[in-house]
Structures are given as structure tokens and as C-alpha cells.
Structure 1
Amino acid sequence: MHVYVVGNMGVDQTFLIDELPEKGASILGQRISQDLGGKGANQAIILARCGINTTLIAGSGDDSHGAWCRNKIAQESLGLFPTQPLDCATDTSIILNSADGDNANITTTTAAESLSLEDIKTALAAAQPGDVLLQQGNFSFEKTRAIFEYSRSRKLFNVFNPSPVKAQFAKLWPLIDLAVLNSVEARLLSQGRQEPMAAAQQLLNDGVGMLVITLGAEGALLLGNGQQHHVDAAPCRVVDTTGAGDTFLSVMLASSLRRGVAVDPQALRHAVAAAAITIGRSGTLSAFPSRQELVGLLTC
């Protein structure tokens, strides 16, 4: 079993602020870290640390940031395609981390969009039926759809984490075997259903195979294939929520793959425990559980 993460990687620069700004506000902040980031890179790294054969398909630029990112990836146990830089700037994210542990992110997608569909098809040439393709919301709707359509033609298992969210993503559900969303994304992509259960039912009606909705401190919901489960969040001290969603998704998926089963409540319990570790630390890559922590958690 192999997971192909098609997405982005870049540099995360985190600023500590008192509170998230309102429109038009000018605020003071302190840059507290620079770390490898990008939802694609985050999820691929955690999957690999869980012992899953993983390839990250993500572009990086021909600048110092790109070289720095590629060096960071080389220190992890996963494949990278392409290994050479693209003729563009490396993507960056500005993370505003408020004193209460909440955050807001601003992300560029220049390098991600510079990776062509043909490049991605080349990277997927070795994929076998039943392998997993995991994609986030960093590409245009047209490119996102084309990747999932190609994956479906190769009989891969399509997993979608539609973040950053785009309204058009609601048209993709018949291509998706497993969707993982937070409550805001679920509301926006379910014709405005306010309650998570109502949103989930709409998404299932629209064609998604299985669905997980994360609810922050209230845990997570799993629905589909005739099942409905709620798992409580793990207790933790909130330091920085950056990357918690990526940790949750990757550990949940790894748990199911390692046990050879569909996503189930045990996978969600593993995921919330891992996310609690990330939430209790500052940064992005530096906050993720280690390989030893994850393998120990997944054997419980």
C-alpha cells in the first residue's frame, strides 16, 4: 500500500500576536519561528512517520527557500517528486498565532500551481490499484478535479481534505471515497447546513463515500457505509493549533491502513491523541509527533 500526497510544501513563518486582527487593523507581532509547512508536506511527513510508504508530489521554487524545503524533506523517510526546483518562487505561509492558541494563515500557491497535471501523472506512473491519493485544496478547482479523475481512472482510493476551501469543491463529491473536513468547511460545502450532522447528511447525499468532520474541542464525527460515530477530543494544553488538522487526518488514515480496515472509531481515537500532541507544542514541523511517538501510539 502506498499513499501519494499531491499538494504543496513551503516555508511557514509564525508570528505571535495578542489577538487575531479585525478588518483594517494594524497590529504588532513577534516572529517566533520559521518551519517547513504546506498541508501537503505536513500530511506526507506524518504519514511517513507512521510507517506508511509515502510519496509527496509538490513543487518548490529555485530560491533559497526551495533549497531549504527540499533539504528538510530529505531528512524524512518519504519520496519527493519532483526533486528539482521549478522556475518560480517557493510558496510561503504567514501564520498569525494569537495568545489563546488560535491561528489564521495566509498561504501562496505559486509553486503548487506551477506543477503541471502532466508532471503529476508522471509521478503517479508507479501507482497500483488500491493505493491512496490524498489531495488538499491548494490547486484550482479544474486541476483538483482533473487529478481526482485521473486517480479514479487508475483505481486509486481518493481522499480529499478541501482546505483552503472553495465553493466549487462541492461538485467533486462523486469522485471522493473519503472526505475530511472541519465544521466550517462542512457548512460551506453542504449548501449552508449549520449543524454538523445536517451538513454530513447533505454531503453523503451529494455523493461522498465516507466522511469525517472534525469539531475541535468537541472531537470528531465519522459517517458513511451505514455507520455513525462520535469520538471525543483528547485532553491537552492548547499552545498552538497550527498543523493539528493535518496531524489528525494523517494519523487517522495511517491507523486504518496499518490495520487493513476502513476508517473506524479506533482510527479517530488514534488521530485525536496525536493531534493533542501537536496542539501542545509550538510551530509546524517542530510540533509534530516523532516517529517513535506515532508508532507507539498506533500500537495501542
Structure 2
Amino acid sequence: MIDVTAMGEVLIDFTDAGISDAGQKLFERNPGGAPANVLVALQRLGHQTAFLGKVGDDMHGRFLRATMEADNIDARGLLTDPSYFTTLAFVALDEQGDRSFSFARKPGADTQITTDELDTRLIAESRVFHIGSLSLTDEPARSATFAALDVARSAGCVMSYDPNYRANLWPGVEAAMEQMRAVVPYMDIMKMSDNECELLTGRRDPAEAARALVSGGVKVCCVTLGSEGALVCTKDGVTAVPPFKTEAVDTTGAGDSFWGGFLAAFLESGLAPAEVALDEAVGMARMGNAVASLCVRKRGGIPAMPERAEVLGVLA
């Protein structure tokens, strides 16, 4: 049994790394992509994962496959396509470690996975099926994502969603809202950032947005609040979960690491989503906050995901 299978993008984050001796900006090649980051976090916390997606037949695609295999992620569902280039993201950091993005994805290989290329056996063998929202930006990946969700729901998987809004990958905010909201009815558990609340629900206040999703059928909803920690919402109510103090170097992967920690604690609870009480959700979010507090101390997404012993040290 696979604990979590995720579908979506695995890509290169070329992260701002200062200035060269010649006065030119330097970029550091870091493996990333939100669903892949979540899986690496889970693997390092002791859970078995699998990935569905596509990379190009190029140096970056080969590097990403090797990176996932080095973390023991089942990469049978990661396809290589010689017709498209692996997606690249160039990440600029400000003094607080916050990011802005520029993408080379016109189209990227991650958007070109088709329904008939899905390894449905991996989905059906999974306890949790997880997606982000970047696979919804373009066809054929959008249709493949909905097909995968149908397979997962039929197989009885717990359905997990972490939208990852990147404005410059959508034709407009209306299109983003339509597609990002379209998958919510499938979901049992989900996370969003505070700046995605209005996109997903029409409500700017995080607590109100979380309540709206739970009243609409989501069993457990989390909202990450940056340096302020997170809040969680179940049928029992909503409450804040304070962060662990940390010095942020690079916030790339912070939300993904949080969700990896949350999913690990959820899996270890043995509970079904509808059984998760508010105090239990708080414990899961506390695990997520601990993982995120360690992730942001290092550069990059995948390279910064901590080991379980480090996380337990923070929790202690």
C-alpha cells in the first residue's frame, strides 16, 4: 500500500544565489514543484509515496528523476517526453526570504501528461491521493487530473488538495478561480495559503474561508499564515495553531513542507477525515508547523525538507 500518491509538477527552481564576480546574477539549481515537495517531506518522515507527472528528455528531467529516486519515491508514474522541455522556474528572493517567480513553461512537459498515460494502479493502491492546482492550468494535464481524481475517488482514496496560485501561469484571475474551485467538491482534506482564500471561496478572512469549505463538504481545512503559523477547521470549529520560531532564509517549499507534515500526522492517526476532531487537527498542524520551521532555514524546496529526527526535536 502506498501512503500518498501525488500528481502534478516536478520542476527546477533556479533560486537567486547572489551576484557573480562579473556583476551578473547567479541562480542555484534546486529540484522542486509543489506536489513533489510534499512527497519528499513525507518520505523523510517515514512514509511511502509515489508520483505521477512528466518531465522532458533533457538534463533537468534526468536530474529530477534521479532526485526523486534518491528519496525512494516510486517514480514509475513519472514519464519522460522528448517533445517537451522540463519546466523551469526562476525564483527571486527578497530580504525576508519571500519569492517572486518567472516560469519557462510554454508549454512545459508537466502540462502534457494525458489521461491514457496515467498509471491508475498507483492511484488505486494509495491511501491518499494528492494534487495541486498547476496541473489545471493547461490541457491535456487538466483533463488527466480530473480523470485521476475520478479513479482515486472510485478506489476510496482520501482526497487531498493544496492549491498553489501562480498568477503568471493563468490567462486571468477568473480562469484561475474557475479551475481551482472545480476540484474542491472531490476533496476530503485541503490546505490553502491566506492569500488564496478569496480565490477559493470569495472570502478574504482565513477563518471564514475555512468554515465555508468545511460547510461545503471538506472534512478538514488548513490555512497557512506565513510567519503567523496556521489555522485549522473541522466540523467542531476553527482555531489558530502558533508557529515555531525560526530564522527564514528561503520560504520556497514552506507550505508544501507544512502539508507533508500534516499528512504524515494524519496518516499516523489512523483516522478517517470525517473522524478528525478539532484538537486532533491542531496536532496535525503542529507537526506541519514543525516541518515548515526547519524547511525555511535552508535554500530550495526538496533540498530543504528535514528528516524525521529533526522534526521530533522541534516538537519536543
| 1:97 counterpart = 2:114 | no
| 1:176 counterpart = 2:182 | no
Instruction: Extract unaligned runs of 5+ from structure 2.
Output: 137-141, 167-175
Aligned amino acid, residue 225 of structure 2: L
Question: What is the distance in 1 between the residues matched to 2:222 and 2:117?
Answer: 30
Deviates most, 5-14 or 83-92: 83-92
Alpha-carbon contact 1:40-1:58 (below 8 Å) kept: no
What SS does the corresponding residue of 1:66 show, helix, strand or coil?
Answer: helix
Cross-structure match for 1:157: 158
Cross-structure match for 1:148: 149
Cross-structure match for 1:270: 287
The alpha carbon displacement at 1:77 in A equals 1.9
The alpha carbon displacement at 1:287 in A equals 1.9
Displaced runs of 4+ in structure 1, greater than 4 A?
A: 297-300
Aligned pair partner of 1:115 in 106, 113, 116: 113
Aligned pair partner of 1:50 in 34, 45, 48: 45
What SS does the corresponding residue of 1:58 show, helix, strand or coil?
Answer: strand
Aligned pair partner of 1:77 in 62, 68, 72: 72
Question: What is the distance in 2 between the residues matched to 1:115 and 1:216?
Answer: 32
Aligned pair partner of 1:238 in 216, 238, 248: 248
| 1:198 counterpart = 2:208 | yes
Distance 1:97 1:142, change over 3 A: same
Alpha-carbon contact 2:50-2:77 (below 8 Å) kept: no
Aligned amino acid, residue 144 of structure 1: T
Instruction: Extract unaligned runs of 5+ from structure 1.
Output: 19-27
Distance 1:55 1:104, change over 3 A: same
Q: How many residues align?
A: 287
Alpha-carbon contact 2:32-2:300 (below 8 Å) kept: no
Question: What is the distance in 1 between the residues matched to 2:148 and 2:108?
Answer: 18
Question: What is the distance in 1 between the residues matched to 2:61 and 2:252?
Answer: 21
Distance 1:201 1:15, change over 3 A: same
Cross-structure match for 1:64: 59
What SS does the corresponding residue of 2:183 show, helix, strand or coil?
Answer: helix
Question: What is the distance in 2 between the residues matched to 1:74 and 1:291?
Answer: 19
Alpha-carbon contact 2:123-2:151 (below 8 Å) kept: no
Alpha-carbon contact 1:16-1:99 (below 8 Å) kept: no
Cross-structure match for 2:170: none
What SS does the corresponding residue of 1:223 show, helix, strand or coil?
Answer: strand
Question: What is the distance in 2 between the residues matched to 1:171 and 1:85?
Answer: 28
Cross-structure match for 2:238: 228
Cross-structure match for 2:264: 254
The alpha carbon displacement at 1:164 in A equals 2.8
Q: CA RMSD in A?
A: 2.4
| 1:106 counterpart = 2:102 | yes
Deviates most, 81-90 or 210-219: 81-90
| 1:285 counterpart = 2:286 | no
Alpha-carbon contact 1:38-1:93 (below 8 Å) kept: no
What SS does the corresponding residue of 1:60 show, helix, strand or coil?
Answer: strand
Question: What is the distance in 2 between the residues matched to 1:17 and 1:146?
Answer: 43
Query: 1:21-49: CA deviations, max 9, x gaps?
Result: xxxxxxx9732411111112111111111
The alpha carbon displacement at 1:161 in A equals 0.6
The alpha carbon displacement at 1:223 in A equals 0.7
Question: What is the distance in 2 between the residues matched to 1:226 and 1:29?
Answer: 54
Alpha-carbon contact 2:197-2:209 (below 8 Å) kept: yes
Aligned amino acid, residue 105 of structure 1: F
Alpha-carbon contact 2:58-2:86 (below 8 Å) kept: yes
Aligned amino acid, residue 161 of structure 1: D
Distance 1:44 1:188, change over 3 A: same
Question: What is the distance in 2 between the residues matched to 1:157 and 1:210?
Answer: 11
Deviates most, 29-38 or 179-188: 29-38
Query: 1:193-218: CA deviations, max 9, x gaps?
Result: 12112222222333323211111122
Cross-structure match for 1:133: 129
| 1:188 counterpart = 2:199 | yes
Alpha-carbon contact 2:220-2:281 (below 8 Å) kept: no
Distance 1:224 1:142, change over 3 A: farther
